[in-house]
């Protein structure tokens, strides 16, 4: 999914619930109200580049919902080569034409703001310092192909600055023209590290019990909401997943606690990565049901995780979720909404080219429906 990598162009669209009595047979997508919104890149040196205009605009449809790739909130947020940021004026200016291209096609565009925490290397950190985390425990070098360096545990008095990095990033995203931000609290990155009890070994107010471990995430949500408004804020979580060895002993309790705690802020949505196991290339098995978390959260609920046309329809029709996020499928099918409606043939994504540094090849040359054989 988007967020695993600096340049993995797995951007997102949605499918939505509908009140028809024949929900199982409804074409996708169908309309969904998300707060004030009616829904229907590549970078070098952390600066988005112009070819991202083509990539995102290709995947924009009228009232379609896009979430940008994971975007760094500060100089310490880096962990992958060529990943975009939004902490400098130059980065903000570089995002503007990209966002403008999406808006010209009447799309809705959120910026996913993220620091990777310990999923980093000395080379990406200022002055070659250790990556920051909630712990001194590192990620096993070589895990998912990364040369990860041992992190250092943030001091308690440093945490407000990290919270402020998110606030400033959200402010910058709005200045760049984005409609809102998605706080990245998943995939084994910094917020996820704080929340998971197999990573977080702190003994002060940000560690120990579940409430303390979630304090960092909720302080970030509060700061961002106060800065740009709750209607412009979403958050992505992965309580059940073990990305980068970020494991929790009671993921359902974690998910439920966060869902209930987030309700008081009235944010636009909660986006959860569904735990699935691959059975075949086109078939997944759901390992845990997200329905208790869905019922606990009062706003728009979004799921992601290997959905296809068929099980996506079913999940929305049965009120399992409000929206479904597509990643790989949208990467390979820039006109995915059109392909979903007539049950047209879908392009296959080329996994071997999802991490290459070439700014043009593959990401923008997947064929559109009218150009398909």
Dihedral sign computed on CA atoms, order 277, 354, 342, 268: positive
C-alpha to C-alpha distance for 187 and 146, rounded to whole angstroms: 14
CA dihedral 264, 268, 272, 273 (to 10 degrees): -160
Sign of CA dihedral 37, 41, 44, 49: negative
Q: Helices 51-58 and 89-104 sit at what angle, rounded to 10 degrees?
A: 40
- The answer to whether 189 is a known catalytic residue is yes
Phi, psi of 184 (to 5 degrees): -85, 100
Contact 207, 134 (CB under 8 A): yes
Give φ, ψ of 303 to 5 degrees: -120, 155
Cα separations in angstroms, 211 against 7, 186, 255:
34, 17, 12
Residue of 56, 124, 189, 363 with catalytic role: 189
- For residues 141 and 60, what is the distance between their CA atoms, to the nearest angstrom? 38
Rounded CA separation 185/322 (Å): 20
Task: Please tell me whether residue 29 adopts helix, strand or coil conformation.
Answer: coil
Q: Is 125 exposed, middle or buried (0-12, 13-18, 19+ CB in 10 A)?
A: buried
Classify each residue of 307-335 as buried b or exposed e, where b means 16 or more C-beta atoms within 10 Å of its C-beta: bebeebbebbbeebbbbbbbbbbbbbbbb
Select from 151, 143, 98 the least CA-distant residue to 122.
151
Closest CA to 178 of 115, 265, 268, 74: 268
**Which residues does the annotation mark as catalytic?**
189
């Amino acid at each position: 999914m988007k967020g695993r990598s600096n340049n993995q162009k797995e951007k997102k669209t949605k499918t939505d619930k509908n009140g028809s009595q024949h929900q199982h047979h409804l074409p996708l997508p169908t309309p969904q109200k998300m707060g004030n919104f009616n829904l229907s890149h590549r970078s070098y040196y952390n600066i988005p580049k112009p070819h991202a205009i083509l990539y995102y605009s290709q995947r924009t449809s009228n009232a379609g919902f896009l979430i940008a790739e994971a975007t760094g909130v500060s100089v310490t947020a880096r962990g992958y080569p060529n990943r975009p940021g939004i902490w400098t004026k130059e980065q903000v200016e570089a995002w503007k034409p990209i966002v403008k291209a999406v808006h010209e096609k009447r799309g809705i565009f959120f910026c996913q703001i993220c620091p990777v925490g310990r999923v980093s290397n000395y080379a990406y950190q200022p002055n070659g310092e250790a990556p920051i985390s909630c712990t001194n425990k590192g990620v096993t070098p070589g895990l998912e192909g990364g040369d990860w360096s041992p992190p250092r545990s943030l001091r308690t008095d440093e945490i407000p600055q990290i919270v402020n990095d998110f606030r400033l990033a959200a402010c910058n995203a709005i200045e760049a023209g984005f409609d809102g931000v998605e706080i990245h609290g998943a995939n084994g990155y910094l917020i996820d590290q704080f929340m998971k009890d197999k990573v977080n070994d702190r003994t002060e107010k940000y560690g120990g019990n579940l409430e303390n471990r979630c304090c960092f995430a909720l302080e970030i949500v509060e700061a961002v909401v106060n800065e740009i408004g709750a209607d412009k804020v979403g958050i992505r979580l992965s309580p059940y997943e073990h990305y980068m060895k970020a494991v929790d002993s009671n993921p359902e309790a974690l998910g439920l606690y966060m869902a209930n705690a987030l309700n008081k802020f009235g944010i636009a949505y909660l986006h959860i990565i569904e735990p699935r196991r691959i059975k075949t290339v086109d078939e997944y098995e759901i390992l845990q049901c997200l329905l208790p978390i869905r019922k606990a959260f009062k706003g728009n609920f979004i799921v992601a995780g290997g959905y296809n046309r068929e099980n996506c329809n079913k999940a929305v029709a049965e009120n399992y979720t409000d929206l479904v996020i597509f990643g790989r499928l949208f990467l390979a099918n820039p006109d995915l909404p059109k392909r979903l409606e007539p049950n047209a043939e879908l392009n296959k994504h080329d996994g071997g080219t999802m991490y290459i540094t070439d700014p043009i090849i593959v990401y923008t040359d997947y064929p559109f429906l009218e150009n398909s054989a």
